[in-house]
Amino acid sequence: MATMACGGSVSSEGTGGTGALGGTSSGGASTGGVGGFGATGGVSTGGTGGVSTGGTGGVSTGGVGGIGGVGGLGGFAGAGGDGPFYTGEVDCNACSPTFYTCWKSDMVPVYSGTPPSQGCPPSTSIDTSGVNPCSTGFGAYVQGDPIEENGLCCYLSGMMCPGGRPFKVDGELRVAAVARRPGWVAESAHDGRSLSAEERKALATVWIGDAQLEHASVAAFARLTLELMQLGAPSALVAASQNASVDEVRHARMCFGFASRFAGAQLGPEKLDLDGALGSVTLEKLARETVEEGCVGETLAALQAAEQRRMAQDPEIRAALSAIETEESEHAAFAYRVVRWAISVGGESVRRAARDAFEAALAQELSLSDPDVSVEVWHHYGRLTAAELREVRARGIEEVVRPCMAALFERREQPALSA
């Protein structure tokens, strides 16, 4: 496995290694009761605190149509409202399917042009842009055969967890929803018509997830630039942060291009919610966030991209992953330079904050599952299985992150670095 420069000096542009799975999607888990198909608050009567009231403690805010009312998690959603309703344990940190998403049978959102079907439509035809049980804007997916229960269509669902530098506000991942729109799609000479509907759906879903996070990373680096300026960082760090933000625009366009290719429609981000994104910043806070999002997250993202490129057979995807691998490695090396500078200025309290952040980030575990498509197709289009992702992540932590962390803390405190 390739090693990385671990940041070098502030004036250098060390390139890094190459990534596994980066940050995890986070956000509040669903609340309200849990239950089976038609438990209390069930389909026939709505039960106690039925969905039609909007209720409290629901998946998002309750409200119109009873989305997320008290009955929403107790037996598939209770009477009233059209959906989506969620049942089961919604784990916002899990990449594997952990819950069901349900709609009234005649209200399941499908992509335009989908032929009418008898009963519940297949999961491959469902537009999941409105499926967001964690209220972060981060994408979810549905898969497998639908379950029909008392006039509802329910689908096994999970949250998407791509890698890279996340954009978090108050500890919660924030990304833009995805819609049909031009302006964010890199041109492609190929389409996905040779694939089955299930394969296209699975590939579109994972590339949408990557695109959402790459798009949000533009904002993450823009915010970092402002924080560096607020803290009086040297010009080399400010310039590197600005350049990284531009890199992420390019990554987002490539990923939206692949998502659009497999979805058969031009896709792009809607508005990104920035409320509360700019708060007070200290050197300790900068170090903690940079360790989690950059030193660990970007390193593993670069290593994941390298392994994806090695597996991929599609030439466009290979070329894109090669560029992403190189640039995410540079972002990881840049993160170590930021932390070194922060320690050189802030001293022992910043060093402790950075060390604690490493330990917390390395302790995180992700729940992963494989798609319902063949491994050969998955590899051909630059994707890794759950086992491969775990292996890359584990090797990246042991062979790259831990040695770089050790090198960072072995350095004795130095005078503040300048450009």
Non-local (6+) Cβ contacts of 338 within 8 A are: 224, 228, 233, 237, 286, 287, 290, 294
Distance CA 78, CA 92 (A): 23
296: DSSP letter:
I
225 confidence band (pLDDT: 50, 70, 90): very high
Phi, psi of 367 (to 5 degrees): -90, 125
126: DSSP letter:
B
Distance CA 125, CA 111 (A): 6
Q: What's the mean per-residue pLDDT of the chain?
A: 77
Q: Report whether pLDDT(21) > 50.
A: no
Domains and CATH numbers, the chain: 51-159 (no CATH), 168-410 (1.20.1260)
* For residues 151-156, average pLDDT: 89
Q: Report whether pLDDT(174) > 80.
A: yes
| Span of 40-54, 178-192, 203-217, 381-395 with lowest mean pLDDT | 40-54
* For residues 20-42, average pLDDT: 33
Which one-letter amino acid corresponds to residue 209? G
Phi, psi of 159 (to 5 degrees): -95, 145
Which has the closest alpha carbon to 85: 119, 50, 114?
A: 50
Q: How many residues does the chain have?
A: 419
Give tens-digit pLDDT for 323-367. Answer: 999 999 999 999 999 999 999 999 999 999 999 999 998 887 666
187 confidence band (pLDDT: 50, 70, 90): confident
pLDDT at 86: 83
Q: Which residues lie across from 94 on neighbouring strands?
A: 367
Q: Report whether pLDDT(93) > 60.
A: no
Which has the closest alpha carbon to 302: 24, 102, 4?
A: 4
Whether 14 contacts 28, CB under 8 Å: no
Tokens of 28: 């509040």
Distance CA 48, CA 50 (A): 5
The pairing of strands 267-269 and 178-180 is antiparallel
pLDDT at 279: 87
Non-local (6+) Cβ contacts of 13 within 8 A are: 240, 330, 333
Q: How far is CA 27 from CA 76, 195, 407, in A?
A: 23, 34, 33
pLDDT at 366: 63
Q: Report whether pLDDT(95) > 70.
A: no
Please, what's the largest Cα pairwise distance for the chain?
Answer: 72
* For residues 185-208, average pLDDT: 83
* 376 against 366, higher pLDDT: 376
Which has the closest alpha carbon to 181: 265, 96, 62, 263?
A: 265
Q: Which residues lie across from 142 on neighbouring strands?
A: 157
* For residues 94-117, average pLDDT: 78
Q: Report whether pLDDT(202) > 90.
A: no
Q: Report whether pLDDT(162) > 80.
A: no
369 confidence band (pLDDT: 50, 70, 90): low
pLDDT at 307: 96
Q: For residues 179, 180, 183 and 186, what is the CA-based torsion angle, rounded to 10 degrees?
A: 100
Q: Report whether pLDDT(163) > 60.
A: no
Block residue for tokens 């009312």: 69
| Span of 83-97, 270-284, 315-329 with lowest mean pLDDT | 83-97
Give tens-digit pLDDT for 231-273. Answer: 999 999 999 999 999 999 999 999 999 999 999 899 999 999 9
* For residues 215-233, average pLDDT: 97
Q: How far is CA 22 from CA 58, 232, 292, 345, 389, in A?
A: 29, 28, 9, 28, 10
82 confidence band (pLDDT: 50, 70, 90): confident
Percent of the chain with pLDDT over 70: 70
CB atoms within 10 A of CB 141: 25
Check whether the bond before 84 is cis (ω within 30° of 0): yes
Instruction: Choose from 166-175, 205-214, 251-260, 404-413 the range with maximum mean pLDDT.
Output: 251-260
Whether 86 contacts 59, CB under 8 Å: yes
Compute CA 310 distance to the chain's CA centroid, rounded to the nearest angstrom.
Answer: 22
> ∠ CA(417), CA(281), CA(327), 5° rounding?
60
pLDDT at 217: 95
Enter the pTM of the model: 0.67
Whether 299 contacts 2, CB under 8 Å: no
| Span of 98-112, 277-291, 339-353 with lowest mean pLDDT | 98-112
Whether 85 contacts 104, CB under 8 Å: no
* For residues 123-135, average pLDDT: 71
Q: How large is the C-alpha radius of gyration of the chain?
A: 22
